[in-house]
Amino acid sequence: PAWGNRRHRPSTSIFTHNEKETIVFERKKESDYFYIWKALCCCLVIVIHYPFPGTAGEMILAIGRISVPFFFAVSGWYLFRDDDEKDQLEQLRSKLLKTVRLTLRVGVICIAFAAAVSLPEGKISAGEWFAERFNIFEILHLLVFDYGKMLESCAYHLWYLFAMINCYAVLYCGKKLERRFKRTWDGRSVMMMLLVALFILEAIVKGHGSWYRNWLFVGMPFILMGWYARQNMLNITRIPIFCGAVLSVAESILFGRKEIYLGTALTVLLILQRTHFSDFDWLPDRMKDFLVYVGKNLSSRIYYYHVLVLVTLQIQTDIRNGWLPILVLLISFFLAELLYRIEMIRCSKKAA
**pLDDT digit string (tens) for 216-226?**
999 999 999 99
Whether the Cβ atoms of residue 34 and residue 295 lie closer than 8 Å to each other: yes
Give residue 339's pLDDT band: very low, low, confident or very high (50, 70, 90).
very high
Whether the Cβ atoms of residue 246 and residue 263 lie closer than 8 Å to each other: yes
pLDDT at 13: 56
76 closest CA partner among 226, 211, 178, 180: 226
Query: What average pLDDT does this structure show over 64-81?
Result: 95
245 closest CA partner among 262, 226, 227, 224: 262
User: Does position 265 have pLDDT exceeding 80, yes or no?
Assistant: yes
Distance CA 207, CA 204 (A): 10
Whether the Cβ atoms of residue 73 and residue 272 lie closer than 8 Å to each other: yes
User: Does position 3 have pLDDT exceeding 60, yes or no?
Assistant: no
Which of 17-26, 54-63, 135-144, 225-234: highest mean pLDDT?
Answer: 54-63
Residue 57: C-alpha distances to residues 33, 64, 280 (Å): 26, 10, 25
Residue 43 CA neighbour count, 13 Å, CB half: 15
User: Does position 1 have pLDDT exceeding 80, yes or no?
Assistant: no
Residues 44, 49, 53, 55, Cα dihedral to 10°: 60
Give residue 181's pLDDT band: very low, low, confident or very high (50, 70, 90).
confident
Distance CA 21, CA 42 (A): 31
Query: What average pLDDT does this structure show over 278-292?
Result: 94
User: Does position 290 have pLDDT exceeding 80, yes or no?
Assistant: yes
pTM of the complete model:
0.92
pLDDT at 14: 60
Q: Higher-confidence residue: 326 or 23?
A: 326
Alpha helix (H) ranges present in the chain? 17-49, 54-64, 67-77, 85-118, 126-133, 136-145, 159-181, 187-204, 220-230, 242-255, 262-271, 285-293, 299-316, 323-351
The least confident of 10-19, 33-42, 49-58, 294-303 is 10-19
Distance CA 329, CA 306 (A): 7
pLDDT at 7: 47
Distance CA 61, CA 244 (A): 14
Query: What average pLDDT does this structure show over 53-77?
Result: 96
The least confident of 10-14, 53-57, 109-113, 230-234 is 10-14
Give residue 153's pLDDT band: very low, low, confident or very high (50, 70, 90).
confident
Residue 338: C-alpha distances to residues 286, 309, 310 (Å): 21, 14, 18
